[in-house]
Amino acid sequence: MMRIKVLAENLARECLSDLTASDLMAQPPISLLAEASIPEALEFFTLRGFHAAPVIDAAGRPVGVVSVTDLLRHDLDKGTHPCNEGGCCSGKSLPEGFSVEEVDTTKVEDIMTNAIFALSPNTKLPDIIKKMLELDVHQLFVVNQDGLLVGVISTSDIMRVLYSMLS
């Protein structure tokens, strides 16, 4: 019985080791344009339930990553509704029920992290996991030979594969 268990473990390890980024990645990749506004990014994260996303240029090449934390930090640094604190209304009172709201014109590229953690579609699962652990990240971008974003691999993608092989 113990020999069967060892054989099964070896087989599972061998199967997992053969998986590549193209087998695991979510595609098509869902990303934000670098020129997107902060309100657009907020809507993107809210509607999709994501916590982070790749940021691409107009050609589709990854230029960074933006997260909900980046948006929260931006909001904290900028402050919301500064006019309500009496700063920009020059002492004039507004009619009841009205307030002045400053529109945030900041772009995603202004608050994103410029680091790009990418790998090729043929990268093997052990190397993907090693890179995630070394970089302490929850997702990696998959880019083709032209540097275009073709997929994203998250820790959840890896966990789904592990779960399906174990059940």
- Which of the residue ranges 18-22, 26-30, 40-44 would you say has the lowest mean pLDDT? 26-30
Q: What is the DSSP string of the chain?
A: -HHHHHHHHHHHHHHHHH-BHHHH-BSSPP-EETT-BHHHHHHHHHHH--SEEEEE-TTS-EEEEEEHHHHHHHHHHH-S-GGGGTSSSTTPPPPTT---------BHHHHSB----EE-TT-BHHHHHHHHHHHT-SEEEEE-TTS-EEEEEEHHHHHHHHHHHH-
- Give 103-161 pLDDT, tens digit per residue: 778 999 999 999 889 999 999 999 999 999 999 999 999 999 999 999 999 999 999 88
With respect to residue 147, please indicate whether it lies within any of the assigned structural domains. Answer: yes
124's tokens: 């093997």
Q: Is residue 97's pLDDT more than 60?
A: yes
With respect to residue 5, please indicate whether it lies within any of the assigned structural domains. Answer: no
- Alpha carbons 10 and 147: distance in angstroms, whole number: 35
Q: What is the pTM of this model?
A: 0.73
With respect to residue 161, please indicate whether it lies within any of the assigned structural domains. Answer: yes
With respect to residue 8, please indicate whether it lies within any of the assigned structural domains. Answer: no
- Alpha carbons 21 and 120: distance in angstroms, whole number: 7
- Give 47-62 pLDDT, tens digit per residue: 998 889 999 999 988 9
Instruction: Supply the CATH number for residue 67's domain.
Output: 3.10.580.10
Q: At what angle do helices 125-135 and 155-166 cross, to 10 degrees?
A: 140
162's tokens: 């592990």
Residue 131 belongs to what domain range? 16-166
Confidence of residue 84 (pLDDT cuts 50, 70, 90): very low
Would you state the pLDDT for residue 8?
Answer: 57
- Which of the residue ranges 6-10, 86-90, 96-100, 125-129 would you say has the lowest mean pLDDT? 86-90
Other CB atoms closer than 10 Å to residue 71's CB: what's the count? 19
With respect to residue 121, please indicate whether it lies within any of the assigned structural domains. Answer: yes
Identity of residue 159? M
Count of domains for the chain: 1
Q: Is residue 91's pLDDT more than 70?
A: no
With respect to residue 10, please indicate whether it lies within any of the assigned structural domains. Answer: no
Would you state the pLDDT for residue 75?
Answer: 84
With respect to residue 118, please indicate whether it lies within any of the assigned structural domains. Answer: yes
Other CB atoms closer than 10 Å to residue 55's CB: what's the count? 26
Would you state the pLDDT for residue 145?
Answer: 93
With respect to residue 7, please indicate whether it lies within any of the assigned structural domains. Answer: no
